[in-house]
Amino acid sequence: MAFQNNLVLMKLKKKMILKNSKIEGIVKSTSKNYGFLETNIHKKIYISSIHMKNLMHGDRIKGYVNFEKKREMFYPEILIEPYLTKFIGFLQKKKKKYFIKSIYPYVRNIIFCNSIDLNLHPCHEGDWVVAKLVEHRFKKNNRFYAIILKFIIKKTHPLIPWYVILERYNLQKKSPNMYSQKILEIKTYQKNRQDLTNLDFITIDNKYTKDIDDAIFIEEKNSQNLILTVAISDPTEYIFQHTPLDKIANQRSFTHYLPGFNIPMLPRNLSEDLCSLKPFLKRPALVCRVLINIDGSISFKNISFFLAWIKSKSKLSYENVSNWLEKKGTWNPENKKIMTQILLLKKVYDIRRIWRNKFAFIFPDKPEFRFHFSDTWKILNISLEFRRIAHYMIEEVMITVNLCAAEFLSKKLGFGLYNVHLGFDEYNAINVCKFLQEYKIYYNPTEIMTLKGFCQMRRDLKKISNTYIQYRLYKFQTFSEISLTPKPHYILGFPVYATWTSPIRKYSDIINHRLLKSIIKGEKNILKPDTSIITQISSQKRKKRLANRELEAWLYVNFFNSYNYKKKIFQANIVNIFKNGIQAQLLKNGAFVIIPSCYIYHLQKKLFFFPERGMIYLKNKIYYRVSDNVKVYIVKIVKETKKIIASII
């Protein structure tokens, strides 16, 4: 019995069991030469620098564990799946041999490249390429070897960050360019539409906007009602379903707005010319006309959709209209008719805003950070920009007619492409109520899972103005999605919501245009869109979001590398708490910085991080939490990982 309980024997048995059993996991590299194997249960086992030379970060491998010097050591035996197959990198030259340095920050290996490829793909040291790993060092020849598949951009080109990131996410770099202008111009004027060219439609956009997709006309019926007429550009007049151009628009799904420029979903000669509602030019439009009651409510019984010709009477800018309404600057409407339209638009905004604040919910607005570039694409500055009254006026009108479209499609067809947000699921509704109880705020989980209860809760919490509570609620909410059937949009506070006001920029709006037009024309057996369209649009939306995030991180690193940030103090807002650090956003320019625990408190072992609560404790007291404002300074810029490391003062 004593022999069985012998500690030495037990340790020996444990070692033998581990040594004889195979373990599978993912390789995780470090800033040093060694690494770790992360298993499915998130256990980390040490991999020595000798073995890491033959492995890459992200490789899935299998092997065994041994004990050496009182430490678990992993010994790889089988490469199950390499992390890299097709990848992006730039060329390096050493001792007359070419190598490819991967863009992926944790892949530190330099991959050998055959010089013959450079004859097939003319490129030089520093140029960016797409390559394919054809030999892994762990498998054979004791080397990593790749072939070049595609040249991306030269090392001297100023748009390297844009092209590399777009290539990584397989997003287009240029606008499509295919259609016959002559045929389309003849065809479009043969259509039978209502003639509204005599009405005083106006457009309000940014000063340099070319793809103008909405025009507005308002008339005051009496002291109790306003008639809102919104004309939306009609690209479906030119783009027929299943044609090559339609397939391109489907594949792109969105106009991609990047710092410095945009990449249109449609050919520019469509989006910025034939389909653009330019002033004084006759244009085909899909029109919504609706009665707005004086209390701001929509008279859903008085909604009509129809096809028309319109002619905008003035292209106005957000800046000028805002200045005029706020009595700033020297700009004035060019005539009384334009002035009347602006004032009526302001009236619609005022009464609709009151109604939404009372019966729905208006989400807090966030400022935008705009990059300013020189002619050679050097970042001159990053400015903080807030939306102004004219932006809100146009937004309110677009929300109103999107509501009308959702209601119209729901009643007439029962399907379409709807923007959906379902608030909290059952599990998180319970957690939200428990969380709010800590602040003596009491709600019932069943209640806040209803649209009415959710909106009431958000309106109540908005009055409290506790930014920490607002930050925490974001973590509990479900994600927005697209649905073919009508469902509520809890964040906006509407029982149903569908967009159709940006068909030049969004393929989902093109689909809703086609459905609306099918109803208008009295077509029978209108087909429901295929579910595959949701997958396509969601995928493109996600890739766009990730690409923008990575591009901005790269641009911020470039900006600070050329900016004298040393000895400068920045105000920052804590946006996330990790297991051993903080993510914060600089209020001046929007850059995200990482603050490791060693730069939070000098005795970092006394800090306790609770990411799930968004808090850091020191000596049993809250030390920091998400939403806190802190003063920081930048410690270093890590160009390879595109990270800015900062310290709290």
By annotation, the residues acting in catalysis are: 205, 211, 213-214, 318, 505
Half-sphere exposure of 648 (CA within 13 A, CB side): 23
**Rounded-to-integer distance, Cα 135 and Cα 196, Å:** 66
Instruction: Compute CA 256 distance to the chain's CA centroid, rounded to the nearest angstrom.
Output: 10
Backbone angles phi, psi at 631, to 5 degrees: -100, 130
Tokens of residue 444, six digits: 């019932």
User: Are 513 and 234 spatial neighbours (Cβ–Cβ below 8 Å)?
Assistant: yes
Rg of the chain on CA atoms, in Å = 29
The number of residues in the chain equals 649
User: Are 37 and 23 spatial neighbours (Cβ–Cβ below 8 Å)?
Assistant: yes
Neighbours of 429 (CB within 10 A): 21
Closest CA to 628 of 613, 640, 608, 614: 614
Write b or e for each residue in 57-88: b if 16 or more Cβ atoms lie within 10 A of its Cβ, otherwise e: bbbebebebeeeeeebbbebeebeebbbeebb
Concatenated DSSP letters for 214-252?
A: EEEEEEEEETTEEEEEEEEE-GGGT--TTSHHHHHHHHH
Tokens of residue 525, six digits: 């057996």
Neighbours of 538 (CB within 10 A): 15
Tokens of residue 284, six digits: 């085909």
Residue 400 DSSP symbol = H
Angle at 470 between CA 464 and CA 475, to 5 degrees: 155
Half-sphere exposure of 345 (CA within 13 A, CB side): 31
**Rounded-to-integer distance, Cα 394 and Cα 384, Å:** 21
Write b or e for each residue in 580-592: b if 16 or more Cβ atoms lie within 10 A of its Cβ, otherwise e: ebbebbbeebbbb
CA 103, 104, 110, 115 torsion-angle sign: negative
